[in-house]
Structure 1
Amino acid sequence: MLEMSTAYLPVNRNWQRYLQDSEDTYRDLENELTQSLKREADRACFMMKYNAFADDPWLWDLDWSTKPLKVKKTVSKKKKVATNFIVRDAPDIVSGAKENYIEDEDADHAEFQQLKGKFEELFSTKDQLFKRNSFLPGYPNWYGLLCNRLKDGLVGPSEVTTSAQVVPKLLKLTWDEYPLYHSRELGWGYLVPGRPLNFGRLDEHQCETPFPLTAAFSLFPPRATNPIRTTQGIISAEEAMLQLNQMSNLTADSADLANHWQATRGSLNKQNHTEHALEQLQKKHIHFQTSDRPAWHLGIGPYDVGVPGCWFFRLPHKSGVDNNVGNPLAKDYLNKIEDGTLKATSSSIAEHVLKLNRNIIYWRNARDRILSQMVVWLRQSQLPRTVTKSESFDPSNQYGAILPQVITSGTLTRRAVESTWMTASNAYKALDRLGSELKAMIQCPPGFSFVGADVDSQELWIASIIGDSHFAGLAGSTAFGWMTLQGKKSDGTDMHSRTASAVEITRDQAKILNYGRIYGAGERFARTLLMQFNHRLTEQEATEKARKMYSINKGNSVFKLNHRGRELASALGHLPEDLVTQEQINNMRKSARKDFSLMHLAKLPTEDLVERRMWAGGTESHMFNKLEEIAQSEFPKTPVLHCRISRALEPRNVGKEFMTSRVNWVVQSSAVDYLHLMLVAMRYLCDTFKIEGRFCISIHDEVRYLIKEEDKFRAALALQIANLWTRFTTILLNSEDHLTPILVMASIIYITQLCTMLQNMG
């Protein structure tokens, strides 16, 4: 931990250039973005003419009401005289000023007098205005909210930003080619036209302008689908298209449309939700859920938000379906903009706005943290001789270092915490994320090189070793351990490829799910992620995929019986040592009720008959059994360094609560043990073999060292030896592995040879 507190990031004048260039470019792009949004707002405001907004599926529900220009009914004579004096004399003053500047040019003076006479009547109407009048009279209220009151709105909608709620409507954003819509209760979503009209729900917040259903049907017709059998509650694309063909003779009046739909679909009998569906609904959203749905579209919904003729589907949220989306232009939806799911249809300017927002969003979110970095610049006299004597040393350059403000044990799992460098992502491949080249600005001084490595699949290896030690005491003895050691990405035999194949997702997505499962996350987490990866998945489909994945990997829940359970099993002729399912426990209780001598055991709940829950039938069952055994022990501690969990989470204080956090702690805290052992071993090797260098930074499972140019290869070899030493700690997990001492003895001979080589290289 002391070693980790000495983090040191070398920089040169490129750091200052990076900050300056990023900030200047950000200001330019931010200004361009604002101007583009202002033009879109002005374009939308112009639609007030001839009520063109009423036929727009995005702008129809904005607040188009205006504030009148207040005029005095009568004007007092005193004010009129004073005003006339000002109006009469002001031109004289201005005229005198003009005469001084243009030296009595008669032509200009005559023109001024002509204009004065023409507009004198207009100037006199100023007396009829109140001193404080309405803000932007005649403009729609939504437009006024985007203007600066201090400047009287003279500079236009200067307050518009991408976080404004009206912006997605101004840009006419679509999701899967359907118009976005905002509900106060459900957040951002999109409307799918084609629903039979009814008056079952009317939005109490809805404006007086009716939804332009005819225009929406023309712009967003039902998609062509494969022939399917229409069932109760499902409106097919063919039926919806039939309505579209008949709507040409209808007005836009909602009552007219409602009568048409009710006449056409009068036989539609909506079914109530089944008990299973009701369990999946969220309490705050169940009021808006609807049983009828379009056959041509799947999503999070549908809901009834009071828009006649449309279903409402919610946008997916990164934290799950329980949460509402507050801004569809946030960074979480950049990938949806890139793949075309989220598009702007207003104009080419709107597309440009999305591109600009994508370019600057990284710097906008990180700039405060980056600009506040603590940089120490060194004078030339303070630089080591290795730097100044290097052939690449430039006296005109600046050399210094950033001192990251690292908290060496900032989490429950003892991981180091730092707000910038330990959360920084790599530069984006598209090279259009302003400032994303942050890590590249850490550049070693002349005469030094960076030497580092990251542990491949660190948590997977640790978890698999724990599972192997629990099962047979041999590495690779479980399916999970074998996939970790021998699985190959190229032939699809590694863990991530197998999971991706099982639930039909990409390997990168499977990787996230696998790590989440090992960290203790449950099926709910997997369902949420699956719906994020594929927003077209319904909640039921995502639940089925998550259940299938957990059944294959984690296995099924079983129970180990305690002394009461074993007594009951023995009395009924079952093997007391066997693991039993919940169904088997229920059957034993049912059988015991027929025997009066076993009645006292039959009345006991499951918790009083079992010792603990276990897993069986999955590739990772043995690993999870061992992790939960450690988490439920009297004093949970890591298998290698025996670091204990916080007393606040020990079973004597929390019982069986917080199991996810405790299982997560076993894996991640063991990974911290691995890192600490690596750092100590590397420090020892550098001191012993006189490798000139220092610790730079550690990020999760990565370590970086700043090493003298002549020692960089010896440092790389030292890292290999340190990694080998650290992996030998697996002998502490199981003493029954008779092969481990032999392997350790052989490895000691091998490491002795490596150390001899390391010394000879020096």
Structure 2
Amino acid sequence: MKGRQFLSKVFRRHSSNSVYLKEKEIATIPKYLHEYLFRTEAPITAVPCKVKLELPALQGNSLQDHFGCISDTLVGEYFKLLEEGTVVFEKNVELPKTWQMKTGWLRYTRDGRHPEPVPYPLEDVFVFDVETCVSRGQLPTLAVAISSEAVYGWCSEFLLNDSKYPEHTRLKHLIPLGGKDISRIAIGHNVGYDRVRSQEPYHEEDSAIRFMDTMSMWIPISGMADHQRSMYEVDDLVLAEELMTYCAMDCVATGKIYSKLWPKFKERFPSLVTLYGFLNVGNAYLPINRQWNDFFKVNEETCENKKVTAAQAIVTCAKLLIEENSNGSAAQNDPWMWQFDWSLDKKQNHPGWFYKLFRKRALVQSDISNLVSEDVVTKSAMIPAIFGMTYGPYPVYKSKSHGWGFLVPTSIRKTVQDQDEDFNIPSDSIQEFVEKNMKISKKVTLPLAATVRFRGCDFYKLPHPSGRGNVGDILSKMFASELDEKLLKPSRYQDQFEKVLMSLRSTRFWTSYRERYHSEIPVWYEKEVGTDNDLVGAIAPAIVPAGTVSRRSVHKLWVTLTNSAVTPPGFKLVGADVDSQEQWLAGLFGDASAAKSLPISERRAGVTPFSEMMLVGTKSNGTDLHTVVAKQLGISRHNAKILNYARLYGSGERHAELFLIQSGVSAQNARIISKNLFALTKGTLSRWHKLNKVLLPLVHRFNNSGGKLEFIGFGGDFYVPAYSNLQCDTLIDFEKYVTESLRSQDNCSIGTEDIVQFMYENSAQPHFLYNGGYESATFNFLEQESQKKLLRTPILNCQLGDSLAQLPDEAPDRDRFNFKYRRSVMNWLVQSSAVDFLHLLLVCMEWLCNEYSIKHRFVISIHDEIRYLCPEEEASRLGLALMLSNLYVRAYITEKVGISQLPETIAFFSQVDCDKVLRKEVDSPFTNPDGSTVENGVAWTFEDLLKHNNGTLRKIK
């Protein structure tokens, strides 16, 4: 244990900027679980067993073998079909010269015989493409499938009969593909679009057909891609035949693309677990009821009502402003309204600016209560002026050249320089207002130089959230936090302003989601449920299984979809959120890298401060990372948490500085805090020499004899400070010590220069490493991995895509490219490893549910959360299966990176949710569109589920 204790002490001595971290013993899973999972002797940190679980036998000799075996069982047949498809689809395909336009599927064989009607494509692997008529709706109009034996054409009854689309979509309106019990594969480009127009994804019992998306194959291999096909008008059947040929040619092209991609896919993603993820992440199924339609109606009405309220509020305040400034000179001295036309109209006696609030001049005379949203201009520079908006204590102003900013009287600025422009700004009234407002407003740190200097006032541009450009709208989503924190706020008519702000936010949300909502296809089952004859149906969302280079799944309507999912009677939604998934992975990678310097028997999780805080630190006693950082830097825990996550994803000191400034910290303090933050967490980047491993005992002896040489254990190697490091003097002393030691051992004369060369690996090229921070080990791992020419995830060996991979040595601007995208590569490594985690979890859940005959249906996975649908009586068994899946997956990952033990704190989910609806927390208030409320769900702990199931997944009679 001496090696581990020494390494731990080194980390704590040099990892906290003079803040000593007391090493904590990290409890690990009980002895019987450890031996079952790792097949090694349990460590002394194993906790006592309270209730013993009945567990299934593992397949193979290790967890690594086990996951290989179960993934082969689950996806092996699909793999064979995909292999077969590579051979089939690379060949040229002869398409039918003419298409018969009949409802349903027609099969065109290679021998040219008369096409025959079939219920669905007969072969088990085929390329598939669907066309729609977007001017009429989202239902399929034409489809083509190509297999090894035939070409298939499908035609909708709505095309042939020119009939209206139904009010409620039924299964019969979609395309049948077969595969209820037999493994089948439909291959397509952006195949999620085609999947949602097929029958099988909507079946209440999951079908065996799966969809392979060539776009998802392409994105993580070579970069982003997009593809969407739509048929706009079909006027006659001749045109329809042409479009059928076009659709078939699309299939041919997709088949050839697939044939080229599949060999690369196997090479880049060698694990069958990854293939299972590709085929099943997109196999989502969301149960819905009548509330789906009500949701749209209620949102439309609510949005419109808020827009009307906002329009009337604006006009009300504008009229009040006119009354309060009936004296012309008073209007010219208003800190905001001085810039607008106050000349009165002779007929109606309104100032010129008032007319510009209305879409039509005649509406000026309308009664306010009769105005609707379309009558009033709700987006203009007049709106903030009417409400007297301020940034901190200063009135806002919109410059034609520089966008939105704020005005600071030069007497408050204390320095007066030549004026760049001459405006009739009421600087005296502005100064009077600012002096009063300073007592009740948030402090704003002024930049060193004004953007523009007016007579009596300086104009400062508002900082754009992106860091560049002019601000065009201070009431936009980009300034939501400033508005919430009252850094931006109205100085008058506050109650009416709240109505306007709420309307803008609601309108933004619903405008964004209205069209996306209509792009979904709710399919309703032909049966009655309950006493209200309520509609029951499902949505099969068009998910892109790997929509980013890190293989994260993507869907354009997550929020609306999840809030609208409701279980049918007798069913429950069971799921969990993976606790701090990406932070745990990053900390584990740091541990594993550091632990490689230790004997295998002494490697453990939590050897580095970042990982230890993740595993045993708690918010309640102030030992979690966010609280520790907040205390050390004197900032709020909330801000520390935001900065900690941003840093993990590659943000630098400048980003932290800008965030702190936007949070109200002065520029000077923000710079200091940001610098201290990175020194405290990431550490200091400096040069280090890789030490010859045989000399490590001499490092221990040197330090035990009074020396103070720092070293870093990283990736199985040891590093000591380079000459340019602050520890230069100590390093020279160490070299003398080594020289003397070697000479005395060898009893011969060795030149000092030769010994120095022997001590280090390529001393002329030192390594850049972080040291002295909580997260130094993690960032050393991420930095070093990001520089690999062939980078793969540590868990499932998935390879980095070409768009971010290191350029060849001979490539022009190679170093510039690699440096520019280094942070993106580090981010990829963490996020892509999190996707590995999800795919392992899906595989393990399917194995356990099959093993114990637990009825279930995968619903959806959104990054770090996963949800299933099951009969109510199966809910607790499914919940226990989720808990155990987390155990298996975490154990698999820790063992894969070289640590054969599992901390108790992360072995199981903190809770598994059981609910009737999808919501963030089971006790979050949930109101249906009809105004009724949904009772709270249940959050089960591991102990709860053990009691419910008597410690077994077997069904108890």
TM over 0.5: yes
Please point out which of 319, 322, 326 is paired with 2:472. Answer: 326
Asked if the contact 1:694/1:705 (under 8 Å) is kept, the reply is: yes
Supply the distance in 2 between the matched residues of 1:364 and 1:378 (Cα, whole angstroms). 24
Cα distance change of structure 1 residues 440 and 30 upon mapping to structure 2, 3 Å threshold: same
- Whichever residue aligns with residue 646 of structure 1, its letter is G
1:503-522 equivalences in 2 (<5 Å) = 503-522=633-652
Residue matched to 2:569: 446
- Whichever residue aligns with residue 54 of structure 1, its letter is Q
Cα distance change of structure 1 residues 326 and 224 upon mapping to structure 2, 3 Å threshold: closer
Asked if the contact 1:410/1:417 (under 8 Å) is kept, the reply is: yes
Residue matched to 1:686: 849
Residue matched to 1:148: 359
Q: In the alignment, is residue 406 of structure 1 matched against residue 553 of structure 2? A: no
Residue matched to 1:215: 429
Please point out which of 28, 33, 54 is paired with 2:305. Answer: 28
Supply the distance in 1 between the matched residues of 2:540 and 2:825 (Cα, whole angstroms). 33
Residue matched to 1:202: 420
- Whichever residue aligns with residue 668 of structure 2, its letter is Q
1:326 is displaced (CA, Å) by: 2.1
Secondary structure of the corresponding residue to residue 857 of structure 2: strand
Secondary structure of the corresponding residue to residue 695 of structure 1: strand
1:691 is displaced (CA, Å) by: 1.3
- Whichever residue aligns with residue 8 of structure 1, its letter is Y
Secondary structure of the corresponding residue to residue 626 of structure 1: helix
Asked if the contact 2:690/2:720 (under 8 Å) is kept, the reply is: no
1:619 is displaced (CA, Å) by: 1.0
Asked if the contact 1:558/1:581 (under 8 Å) is kept, the reply is: no
Supply the distance in 2 between the matched residues of 1:728 and 1:195 (Cα, whole angstroms). 61
Asked if the contact 2:690/2:766 (under 8 Å) is kept, the reply is: yes
Using CA pairs under 8 Å that are at least 6 residues apart, name the structure with larger relative contact order, 1 or 2. 2
1:430-579 equivalences in 2 (<5 Å) = 439-472=562-595, 473-532=603-662, 534-535=663-664, 537-561=665-689, 578-579=720-721
Please point out which of 377, 384, 388 is paired with 1:172. Answer: 388
Supply the distance in 1 between the matched residues of 2:883 and 2:374 (Cα, whole angstroms). 58
TM-score scaled by length of structure 1: 0.66
Secondary structure of the corresponding residue to residue 648 of structure 1: coil
Q: Tell me how many residue pairs correspond in the alignment.
A: 565
1:629 is displaced (CA, Å) by: 1.7
- Whichever residue aligns with residue 636 of structure 1, its letter is L
Cα distance change of structure 1 residues 738 and 298 upon mapping to structure 2, 3 Å threshold: closer
1:410 is displaced (CA, Å) by: 0.5
1:369 is displaced (CA, Å) by: 4.6
Asked if the contact 1:452/1:705 (under 8 Å) is kept, the reply is: yes
Please point out which of 260, 266, 281 is paired with 1:4. Answer: 281
Asked if the contact 1:376/1:401 (under 8 Å) is kept, the reply is: yes
Q: Unaligned regions of 5+ residues in structure 2, if any?
A: 1-277, 596-602, 692-708, 712-717, 731-752, 754-761, 809-813, 904-944
Cα distance change of structure 1 residues 8 and 151 upon mapping to structure 2, 3 Å threshold: farther
Give CA-to-partner distance per residue, 1:252-290, whole Å, 9 cap, x none.
xxxxxxxxxxxxxxxxxxxxxxxxxxxxxxxxxxxxxxx
Secondary structure of the corresponding residue to residue 460 of structure 1: helix
Please point out which of 534, 538, 543 is paired with 1:397. Answer: 534
Q: In the alignment, is residue 59 of structure 1 matched against residue 337 of structure 2? A: yes
Give CA-to-partner distance per residue, 1:535-581, whole Å, 9 cap, x none.
2x222321211110110110000124589xxxxxxxxxx99952337
Residue matched to 1:757: 952
Secondary structure of the corresponding residue to residue 575 of structure 2: strand
Residue matched to 1:309: 456
Asked if the contact 1:202/1:306 (under 8 Å) is kept, the reply is: yes
Higher mean displacement: 631-640 or 154-163: 154-163
- Whichever residue aligns with residue 166 of structure 1, its letter is M
Supply the distance in 2 between the matched residues of 1:527 and 1:587 (Cα, whole angstroms). 34
Supply the distance in 1 between the matched residues of 2:504 and 2:517 (Cα, whole angstroms). 21
Residue matched to 1:667: 830
Supply the distance in 1 between the matched residues of 2:619 and 2:443 (Cα, whole angstroms). 37
1:366-381 equivalences in 2 (<5 Å) = 366-369=512-515, 371-381=517-527
- Whichever residue aligns with residue 685 of structure 2, its letter is S
Asked if the contact 1:63/1:140 (under 8 Å) is kept, the reply is: yes
1:348 is displaced (CA, Å) by: 5.6
Residue matched to 1:626: 781
Residue matched to 2:82: none
1:62 is displaced (CA, Å) by: 2.9
Residue matched to 1:719: 882
- Whichever residue aligns with residue 167 of structure 1, its letter is I
Asked if the contact 2:523/2:538 (under 8 Å) is kept, the reply is: yes
Supply the distance in 2 between the matched residues of 1:65 and 1:587 (Cα, whole angstroms). 79
Secondary structure of the corresponding residue to residue 645 of structure 2: helix
Supply the distance in 1 between the matched residues of 2:728 and 2:472 (Cα, whole angstroms). 46
- Whichever residue aligns with residue 405 of structure 2, its letter is G
Cα distance change of structure 1 residues 717 and 560 upon mapping to structure 2, 3 Å threshold: same
1:151 is displaced (CA, Å) by: 6.6
1:402 is displaced (CA, Å) by: 2.4
Residue matched to 2:801: 646
- Whichever residue aligns with residue 310 of structure 1, its letter is C
Secondary structure of the corresponding residue to residue 576 of structure 2: strand
TM-score scaled by length of structure 2: 0.53
Larger Rg: 1
Supply the distance in 1 between the matched residues of 2:880 and 2:825 (Cα, whole angstroms). 36
Asked if the contact 2:390/2:396 (under 8 Å) is kept, the reply is: yes
1:255-266 equivalences in 2 (<5 Å) = none
Secondary structure of the corresponding residue to residue 474 of structure 1: coil
Asked if the contact 1:470/1:626 (under 8 Å) is kept, the reply is: yes
1:330 is displaced (CA, Å) by: 1.6
Cα distance change of structure 1 residues 438 and 180 upon mapping to structure 2, 3 Å threshold: farther
- Whichever residue aligns with residue 452 of structure 1, its letter is G
1:235-274 equivalences in 2 (<5 Å) = none
Q: RMSD between aligned alpha carbons? A: 4.1
- Whichever residue aligns with residue 614 of structure 2, its letter is T
1:708 is displaced (CA, Å) by: 1.1
Cα distance change of structure 1 residues 445 and 197 upon mapping to structure 2, 3 Å threshold: same
Secondary structure of the corresponding residue to residue 2 of structure 1: helix
Secondary structure of the corresponding residue to residue 720 of structure 1: helix
Cα distance change of structure 1 residues 649 and 170 upon mapping to structure 2, 3 Å threshold: same
Q: Unaligned regions of 5+ residues in structure 1, if any?
A: 70-135, 226-294, 425-436, 564-573, 589-597, 599-606, 742-750
Residue matched to 2:167: none
Asked if the contact 1:198/1:308 (under 8 Å) is kept, the reply is: no
Give CA-to-partner distance per residue, 1:233-267, whole Å, 9 cap, x none.
xxxxxxxxxxxxxxxxxxxxxxxxxxxxxxxxxxx
Residue matched to 1:748: none
1:162 is displaced (CA, Å) by: 3.8
Secondary structure of the corresponding residue to residue 220 of structure 1: helix
Residue matched to 2:491: 345
Cα distance change of structure 1 residues 548 and 342 upon mapping to structure 2, 3 Å threshold: same
Higher mean displacement: 504-513 or 148-157: 148-157
1:500 is displaced (CA, Å) by: 1.7
Give CA-to-partner distance per residue, 1:607-633, whole Å, 9 cap, x none.
995354211111111111111222111
Supply the distance in 1 between the matched residues of 2:510 and 2:329 (Cα, whole angstroms). 38
Higher mean displacement: 40-49 or 711-720: 40-49
Supply the distance in 2 between the matched residues of 1:49 and 1:739 (Cα, whole angstroms). 80
Asked if the contact 2:338/2:426 (under 8 Å) is kept, the reply is: yes
**Larger helix share, 1 or 2:** 1
Cα distance change of structure 1 residues 438 and 697 upon mapping to structure 2, 3 Å threshold: closer
Q: In the alignment, is residue 183 of structure 1 matched against residue 399 of structure 2? A: yes
Give CA-to-partner distance per residue, 1:431-487, whole Å, 9 cap, x none.
xxxxxx974432111111000001110011101110001112420111111111110
1:318 is displaced (CA, Å) by: 3.0
Secondary structure of the corresponding residue to residue 668 of structure 1: helix
Residue matched to 1:267: none
Supply the distance in 2 between the matched residues of 1:377 and 1:55 (Cα, whole angstroms). 62
